Amino acid sequence: MSRPRILVPGKVNPRILERLPDMFETVLIERADPALVPAEMADVVGIAVSGRLPTELMDRFPRLEIIANFGVGYDGVDVDRAAARRIVVTNTPDVLNEEVADTAIGLLINAVRRLPRAEQWLRQGRWAHEGAFPLSPLSLRGRKVGLYGLGRIGLSIARRLEAFGLPIAYHTRSRREDIAFPYYPSLASLAEAVDTLIVIVPGTPSTAKAVNAGVLSALGPNGVVINVGRGSTVDEAALITALQDGTIAGAGLDVFENEPHVPEALIALPNVSLLPHVASASVVTRGAMADLVVDNLEAWFTHGRALTPVAETPFERNSR
């Protein structure tokens, strides 16, 4: 009996490629391009993908049953189309929560205390030749933090902020009855109540450019924005302007609108800390994410049920 055929379009974590052959016939193509799929590959029943999966590629496979997505966010997959075809889409929640939360706190400290610039001051020999690095204009002390998003990662960030003794409030689409933090019904009202905004929401039409000029203005001249969610949630042009003219004091960003391209105007600013989308990028965490991708595929074809299906595709194999 032939083994299930799994397509891997483009680059994925090597751990996925190591494990797939144990149970599956693996087909690799250079990138997620329907033109690279020969006719004899129409019997693909699963896809393991990191990044965007064009709908046209999904539709090349009439027998497709499952799309195993590497990452918590799955906005690169047309999940509505998948649901219409009763294709289950999985993601990799939980295994990266703590790593991303650590990065968010690191970015916050870097942005407030300007530690990366202090390190460069030392490395460039300026401490010895010019004296002490200038005092950081900001501190974590006395700050009020607003979380835009309070899912698994948001809660992990909140636990760390509580250890720092910082008051926390939040905004989500609806109030969480299991959470005691103050809730604000709009992002603008949250921004008015805090001076530090941590963004950890998925990239969806409803969150696109939600952190706009008005929200930034509401944060005020002591305001700091941290984004470890999706670059699309922050109006990048408005953010650059706000940082340049003192509308807010600083920012820490791990994600950007047009990755991997980051505006030179943003790079040139002294009051930002910038990372190249590395919030979950440790060997340990990425390995756990890769394992969950393969575990989802194995569970689907062995037991008829994925381990971590996304909410839009709660299907079982025998109900297809």
Q: Rounded to an integer, what distance in angstroms lies between the CA atom of residue 7 and that of residue 17? A: 11
User: How far from chain centre, in Å, is Cα 188?
Assistant: 22
For residue 41, name the pLDDT band (cuts at 50, 70, 90): confident
Q: Rounded to an integer, what distance in angstroms lies between the CA atom of residue 103 and that of residue 139? A: 18
For 126, 139, 235, 265, the CA distances from 120, given in Å and listed in that order, are 9, 20, 29, 20
For residue 320, name the pLDDT band (cuts at 50, 70, 90): confident
Residues 15 and 65 in one domain: yes
Catalytic residue among 277, 305, 316, 317: 277
Residues 192 and 255 in one domain: yes
Percent of the chain with pLDDT over 70: 100
Give me the helices (H) in 4-96, please.
Answer: 14-19, 55-58, 79-84
319, HSE (Cβ side, Cα atoms, 13 Å): 10
Q: Is the pLDDT of residue 1 over 80?
A: no
Q: Answer whether 36's CB lies under 8 Å from 58's CB.
A: no
Check if 119 is active-site.
no
Q: Rounded to an integer, what distance in angstroms lies between the CA atom of residue 209 and that of residue 227? A: 12
Residues 165 and 263 in one domain: yes
Residues 247 and 151 in one domain: yes
Residues 105 and 89 in one domain: no
For residue 213, name the pLDDT band (cuts at 50, 70, 90): very high
CATH number of the domain where residue 57 is located: 3.40.50.720
Residues 184 and 297 in one domain: no
Q: Report the Cα–Cα distance between both ends of the chain, in Å, rounded.
A: 21
Residues 43 and 124 in one domain: no
Residues 127 and 59 in one domain: no
Catalytic residue among 230, 236, 257, 298: 230
**291-313 per-position pLDDT tens digit:** 999 999 999 999 999 999 999 99
Domain of 142, in residue numbers: 97-274
Residues 108 and 218 in one domain: yes
Reduced 3-state DSSP string for 72-137: CCCCCECHHHHHHCCCEEECCCCCCHHHHHHHHHHHHHHHHHCHHHHHHHHHCCHHHHHCCCCCCC
pTM: 0.93
Residues 130 and 56 in one domain: no
Check if 277 is active-site.
yes
Amino acid of residue 296: N
**Tally of structural domains, the chain:** 2
**What is the pLDDT, as a whole number, of residue 2?**
84
Q: Is the pLDDT of residue 319 over 90?
A: no
CB atoms within 10 A of CB 253: 23
**What is the pLDDT, as a whole number, of residue 317?**
95
Q: Is the pLDDT of residue 86 over 70?
A: yes
Average pLDDT over residues 140-151: 97
Q: Which residue has the tokens 């032939």?
A: 2
Check if 56 is active-site.
no
Residues 11 and 45 in one domain: yes
Q: Is the pLDDT of residue 200 over 90?
A: yes
Catalytic residue among 18, 56, 162, 259: 259
| Residues ≥6 apart with Cβ < 8 Å to 149 | 170, 172, 199, 200, 201, 229
Residues 208 and 247 in one domain: yes
If you average pLDDT over every residue of the chain, what do you get?
Answer: 97
Q: Rounded to an integer, what distance in angstroms lies between the CA atom of residue 311 and that of residue 306? A: 12
